[in-house]
Amino acid sequence: KYIQSFIRETWLRRYGFSPSAEMMTLMWSFIVSIYSIGGLLGSSSAGYLSVRFGRKKALLLANIPALLGAALMGLSRLCGSFEMIMAGRLFSGVCGGLAQNVHIMYAGECAPRNLRGLIAITASTSIATGKFIGFVLGLREVLGVEALWPVLLAANAVPALVQLLTLPFFPDSPRYLLIDRKDKEGCI
């Protein structure tokens, strides 16, 4: 409801009249659904990027749209632009689609054979944990108040920054090194 009132106020300030109920529904639907469109774009590019740059670098590249999306959504109120929320959701979706697919490849290829099943479920466990943390942060007692909704929307920058700081210390995927790069020694 805070974002919808922000859209209403911004529209009124720009055009001098309130948007119709149909326009509000359309814009809210667009804000909600554009994340999935971004996810489709990210998923579609996962195969190419993981072969071109490797799994680890593709995961690092996935942080670019995550940070861009977090910045756009976090600054949208300050700039008075609900379009920034739409663009931020699109970029966040690109990151989600890309990272979800590449993470499973990377974790599965790096895991020892006897732990592959356990490692493969880290993606679904991370998604469930992320949803839980999002619900907790969205509580009225935490960040779910009108003054802090931009911070809540920009909170996805935290895991992206953690990944940017830690992932460079992890090895490249052995399969990528051997099959795509023909680097047998690196693979071993």
The whole-number pLDDT of residue 120 equals 80
Distance CA 71, CA 60 (A): 17
Whole-prediction pTM: 0.90
pLDDT digit string (tens) for 142-177? Answer: 888 888 899 999 999 999 999 999 999 999 888 888
Q: Select from 61, 72, 71 the least CA-distant residue to 167.
A: 61
Domain ranges of the chain: 1-180
**Which residue type does 178 have?**
L
Helices (H) and strands (E) in the chain, counts: 10, 0
Q: What is the CATH number of domain 1-180?
A: 1.20.1250.20
Please report, in angstroms and rounded to a whole number, the separation of the first and last CA atoms in the chain.
54
State the CB neighbour count (10 A cutoff) for residue 73. Answer: 27
Neighbouring C-alpha atoms within 13 Å toward the C-beta of 186 = 13
Average pLDDT over the chain reads: 92
